[in-house]
Chains A and B, each alone.
Chain A
Amino acid sequence: MLSKSFFCSNVRKRGEWRAFILVMFAVCALGGIILSLSVGALSISINEIISAIFSDASGANRQVIWNIRLPRTLVGALVGINLSLAGAILQGVMKNPLADPHIIGVSSGAGLAGVSIMVLFPHKEYLVTPVAFLGAMLAAVFIYILAWKGGIRPVRIILAGVAVSAFLNSAISALLVFYSDRVHGALMWMVGGLSARSWPHLDIILPYTVAGSILAVFGARRLNILNLGDEVSRGLGLNVEVSRIALTAVAALMAASAVSVVGLLGFVGLIVPHAARLLVGSDYRYLLPASALLGVAVVTLSDTLARVAFSPIEIPVGIIMAFVGAPFFLYLLRRDA
């Protein structure tokens, strides 16, 4: 399932290939951020963006850049990092290619909590983010407790995750049926979008991105070891249970902070790490930075598209990502088969 260039026996070439892909992803990420800042109802050139951010505090562009586009773009970038890293980590921890933040209940937990606030207490919208975060973590912990039986087996987590998510999702559906007049806001949030996201949202998500990324870097070698299977991992002296729980906790916190801010963006956490893996291989020392960079690129580019494609109507970024990303992913998969 890996790109052909990967099977070349020349290791130097492999190193160069990985470096090349990482640089490409970084260029895409940077390009995504710049595009997101410059494109929109008001077109702003790169020079103007730079002066609006760093020097000119009075210009008209300053308002648009500083108050609207920059925070929104940065939230998008951090969400991309958080969900992609969470997905990459979970795929390694569970040794399952279908693992993503949904599996550990983060999405359904955040979903039920967030939707409850939106439809039951619509005048308390400011509570959506903290309550959704709490819901996400509660669901994740609950699934872990259910799956615990003298240790953690990935299969049990996945099955418990599916069951709990189904349960929570049906509760969401019930709420939406009972309060059908308030469905619209909840629906937008469940698809996931970046509209009207600003500095306060950035403050919420940033600490998790920073701490999570650092911990993920330190976890890379453990993830590589876990990929060899439990028995080999134990033989190499890795504490399999502790590593698995710690890494899942990191993934859960990163994903929970992301979905509580932008809603249930589903696609990034599953597909981005996969696409990155197809291109850089399964070594987590390269896979994690590649996933993070690709996550930034995918979310910022998709959000730009979401803003301008049907302007002046803005569609949730989650829809764009799935629409453009899923076919691209299928293409990658076919090419390597």
Chain B
Amino acid sequence: MSILKADNLSFSFDEKIVLDNLTLAVEEGKIVAILGPNGSGKSTLLKVLSRNIKPNKGIVYLDDKNLAQLSGKTIAQQMAVLPQSPQAPNDLTVRDLVEFGRFPHQSWWQGKSEQDEHYVSWALAQTGLAQMADRVVSTLSGGERQRVWIAMALAQKPEILLLDEPTTYLDICHQLEIMELLAAFNEEHNLTVVMVLHDINHAARYSDYVVVLQQGKVFAAGRPKDVITEHTLREVFGVESEITLDKTGKPVIIIRGLAAKKV
């Protein structure tokens, strides 16, 4: 069953069409990677899914309910969002920030409940931040900081997590750490993950489903080994590549160089 569905989304900005009748369905419990070159509309798509941009046309369904008709709180109890490089005030501690994740579960007159405390501790433990809970976020390294934001999203206890390039600005080790963390959550808690990724190898390795966008349209969608092909890379990204399958049957991409421009 698809937990999140985008139906015929269109969005244009100053005459430029960013999303062009785009349709997409995300199955529950899967990791979905959205790929595409710069300007293909992948970040915009994520912003529409997270209600940060209103589409000109089309409807997003969350569990078969029209997203535009649900309250922000109801959505946030089900779906967490992590934008690209979020900023926090520079005196927040890790725990302060993770506690914000409980906001959609709190009513406006109530303070923290025991349940809130429980999920905050749980999120901190799951992301390996329990020891750092009282550190100030701005003193942490980039990788640790990203884990704090993910912990905040997890404290929301969402069924779906949307992320926009969660590994940008991180070194390779921390990139993998984030990907492994998300994969583990997907595995253990059946968390549906939808993320915009830059690194095609990460997408190939960690996602169940890949959506490749080109000029606001879905160029190809499906299992990584069906979608990430030499043809796709040439047509969409303009690069020549060599794709082999590793021991687990996942595609590994080696980029050979720029593809010859079509005349």
Contact = CB atoms under 8 A, between A and B. Distances in A.
Contacts of B103: 221, 225, 236-238
A283 B51 contact: no
Contacts of B219: none
Given A11-B93, A281-B91, A237 B136 contact: no
A125 to B, nearest CB: 43
Most B C-beta atoms less than 10 A away, residue of A7, A14, A229, A232: A232
Contact of A229 (B83, B106, B108, B136): B83
Interface string A234-246: 1111110000000
B38 interface: no
Given A9-B134, A11-B134, A231-B50, A237 B87 contact: no
B39 interface: no
B96 interface: yes
A11 B90 CA distance: 15
B88 A228 contact: yes
A230 B52 contact: yes
Which of A218, A232, A235, A236 has the most CB atoms of chain B within a 10 A radius of its CB? A235
Contact of B81 (A10, A231, A239): A231
B108 A218 contact: yes
B73 interface: yes
A329 interface: no
Interface in A1-22: 1-2, 6-7, 9-11, 14
Contacts of A218: 108-109
Interface string B237-256: 00000000000000000000
Interface residues of A, number: 28
A282 B92 CA distance: 8
A227 B80 contact: no
Residue from B74, B89, B156 having most chain A Cβ neighbours under 10 A: B89
Nearest to A92: B89
Given A218-B109, A281-B91, A234 B134 contact: no
A224 B111 CA distance: 14
Contact of B75 (A1, A237, A283): A237
Interface in B53-92: 54, 71-77, 80-83, 86-92
Nearest to A1: B90
A239 B72 contact: yes
A14 B91 CA distance: 10
Interface residues of B, number: 40
Contacts of A9: 134-136
Contact of B153 (A11, A231, A235, A283): A235
Nearest to B109: A218
B206 interface: no
A218 B83 CA distance: 27
B104 A229 contact: no
Nearest to A281: B91
Given A11-B134, A283-B96, A235 B81 contact: yes
Contacts of A11: 93, 95, 134
A225 B100 contact: yes
Nearest to A10: B134
Contacts of A229: 83, 86-87
Contacts of B91: 2, 6-7, 281-283
A66 to B, nearest CB: 38
Interface in B124-150: 134-136, 139
Contact of A237 (B83, B92, B104): B104
A333 B250 CA distance: 55
Contacts of B96: 283
Given A235-B153, A282-B89, A228 B100 contact: yes
> Which of B74, B77, B83, B139 has most chain A Cβ within 10 Å?
B83
Given A218-B108, A225-B100, A7 B136 contact: yes
A224 B108 contact: no
B73 A228 contact: no
A77 B223 CA distance: 67
B41 interface: no
A158 B93 CA distance: 30
Contacts of A237: 71-77, 103-104
A221 B87 CA distance: 17
A221 B104 CA distance: 12
B101 interface: yes
B39 to A, nearest CB: 20
Contacts of A10: 134
B100 A234 contact: no
Given A2-B90, A6-B91, 16 more contacts: A7-B91, A11-B134, A225-B100, A227-B88, A229-B83, A230-B52, A231-B50, A236-B76, A236-B156, A237-B71, A237-B72, A237-B74, A237-B104, A281-B89, A281-B91, A282-B90
Interface of B: 47, 50-52, 54, 71-77, 80-83, 86-93, 95-96, 100-101, 103-104, 106, 108-109, 134-136, 139, 153, 156, 162
14 contacts: A6-B91, A9-B134, A221-B103, A228-B87, A230-B52, A231-B52, A234-B50, A235-B83, A236-B103, A237-B71, A237-B73, A237-B74, A282-B91, A283-B92
A-B pairs, 10 with minimum CB distance: A237-B76, A235-B81, A237-B104, A231-B83, A282-B89, A237-B73, A237-B72, A281-B91, A11-B134, A236-B103
